[in-house]
A and B are shown apart, each in its own frame.
Chain A
Amino acid sequence: MADAFPLGVSSPEPTGKPRWSRKVKADNIAGYLFLAPWIIGLLAFTVGPMLASGILSLTKFSGFGAIKWVGFENYDKIFQDKLFYTSLYNTSYYAFLGVPAQLLVALCLAVLLNMKVRNVNLFRTVYYIPTVTPTVANVFLWVWIFNFDFGLINSLLRLVGVAPVNWLWDPQIVKPALILMSLWAVGQQMVIFLAALQGVSEELLEAASMDGANNIRRFFSITIPLISPVIFLNLIIGIISLFQTFTVALIATDGGPINSSLFYVLYIYRKGFQSFAMGYASGLAWILFLIILVITAIQFYLARRWVYYESGSAPS
């Protein structure tokens, strides 16, 4: 993050003794005043609640009445809780298969949209529409698409003589079905890829053609390495967000059948807001936080092997 000081004023970094000239002082006051809402919000709605949920996880609290200190009891219980492991497994399954699938689809769409044909902007708009559809409407629609008797997919399957599948009510199929459903709305990742593809230098690609590389070779040897930072970005954001999948599972299946789509945040929601075990739910939430932290750290570590930075700097 190279920060220049664009206004050309003296750097505020103290060199020896800070020179608190009027200008520097005024800048500091102005800077913090402009930032004040954000800093207050950060403390009140992010940092404060983070710490509070850490403390809550050591208590027994229903949201009403007295708070009882119980130490690490909640965590002991969580580690013996079968549904904790079930929801963790479901969520990992969904995230680790779902994110690569989403990125693959998004990248393919971005490559399509990067072709130099007329009216390609119209297609860009159309491809983005599923992403702006309200999730609730989205899910209702897909419940129909997956319907066993009347749904679109099974109708098509029958048409070609394949046995229909019980998409949302078969414990073995429901997670792949939900992943399939998520592939319909990958507009965000798609546009990020598209922007990256447009930044790939034409000269480099042309030079490779001159050397006799075909399209596929050029894509894998030049384009992919050049956009690898953006793949990495999408991967990080994707894992974090799929680990917190909630709305889809709540509306489409409500965690079923037999808990096979009980995702982690849905379990937190049930414990916290339906069973009113807020201490327990906070413990679950903190474990999720640590899991995501570790996964993200591992990804940053692995990124050194495959993410290519033109400037040679580490991921920031």
Chain B
Amino acid sequence: MVEREERYIASISAKLGAYFLLGLGAVISLMPLYWLIMTSLRPAGAEFTYPPEWIPSSFHPENYGIAWNRAPFWLFTFNSILVTFLATFGTILTASMAAYAFARIPFYGRQVWFALTLSTMMLPWAVTLIPRFLLFKYMGLFDSLWPLFLPFWFGGGAFYIFLIRQFIMTLPVEMEEAAVVDGASRLRIYFMITMPLTKPAVAAVGVFSFIHHWNDFMSPLIFTNREETRTLALGLRYFGDEQFTEFRLIMAVATLMLVPVLVVFFAANKYFVSGVALSGLAGR
């Protein structure tokens, strides 16, 4: 009896300890976000106080309107949406085509190309930065949105190809084999049979790509210049530089910029985590 009771208490306290640790981690993860949103609602001049005010003395949602009108944020948003969608669409289409070839079509030199593809993941992008800049400049595309999405219509990146390829490898081949026997073309098999089955992997790639391009700071910084071609990430940065005294306005725009990311993340959370997990199997 006593032993059983002891064990019961031990398991309860282990559970409590587990929840305590999990909760602590959650607080640390969410605290800065809480501060972000609270700061965006503070009255003017009350961004910096000591000691920190956990709940603002008064709430000012009008900060959002004020901030939004300080710079052409509608334009920046439009640019961000355009780039994100075009880049993501190109990535999904061309990465899954390459992935299908690597997973299913026995062509000559496949292993070599696949090894080459994987090895590009280890190339530092900084090395290609300057020539890329010059390439776009000579193509007359500097300071346009083209450099921000065009490269992603060419395979999207080794990581995405690898991720979808790994997923296709786990799918049964019977249906495709039957289609091959029936004389269906590769293109037809890919679009009609394989592509629909790879939805989870494609969704993961879509979410990764969406978040990457929406948040991307480096490429717009290098490849664009005028205000007309700015994306949200870059707009926020310049806004921050000029108006650093008005922290609440910066935080308001940052909060608005975060909303689509969180919506996509929560909607596709399942795919997101499984996608990273799939990529983690690379090391095995």
Residues of A near any B CB (own CB < 8 A): 1, 3, 5-13, 26-28, 30-32, 34-35, 37-42, 44-46, 48-50, 52-53, 56, 63, 109, 112-113, 115, 117, 120, 123-130, 132-138, 140-142, 144-145, 147, 149-150, 152, 155, 159, 184, 188, 191-196, 199, 229-230, 232-234, 236-237, 240, 243-244, 246-247, 251, 264-265, 268, 272-273, 278, 281-282, 285-286, 288-289, 292, 296, 315
Contact = CB atoms under 8 A, between A and B. Distances in A.
Interface stretch (B55-63, B67-75, B81-89, B98-106): B98-106
Interface of B: 15, 18-19, 21-22, 25-26, 28-30, 32-33, 35-36, 39, 48-52, 94-95, 97-98, 100-108, 110-111, 113-117, 120-135, 137, 151, 153-155, 161, 169, 173, 176-177, 180, 185-187, 190, 211, 214-215, 217-218, 222, 233, 236-237, 240, 247, 250-251, 254, 257-258, 261-262, 265-266, 269, 272-273, 276-284
Given A120-B22, A134-B258, A289-B127, A38 B155 contact: yes
A117 B19 contact: yes
A196 B214 CA distance: 29
Given A125-B266, A152-B52, A191-B276, A27 B98 contact: no
7 contacts: A49-B130, A129-B33, A129-B262, A130-B29, A133-B33, A150-B50, A292-B124
Contacts of A49: 127-128, 130-132, 135
B57 to A, nearest CB: 15
Contacts of A28: 107-108
B131 A52 contact: yes
B273 A128 contact: yes
The dominant DSSP class at the B interface is helix
A272 B237 contact: no
A93 B157 CA distance: 29
Contact of B137 (A45, A63, A113, A268): A63
Lowest 5 A-B CB distances belong to which pairs?
A41-B154, A31-B107, A38-B155, A233-B283, A195-B277
A126 B21 contact: no
Given A251-B217, A292-B124, 20 more contacts: A3-B111, A5-B106, A6-B103, A6-B169, A27-B106, A27-B107, A27-B186, A31-B107, A37-B97, A52-B135, A128-B265, A128-B273, A129-B29, A132-B211, A134-B233, A191-B277, A196-B284, A237-B121, A251-B237, A288-B127
A31 B110 contact: yes
B113 A34 contact: no
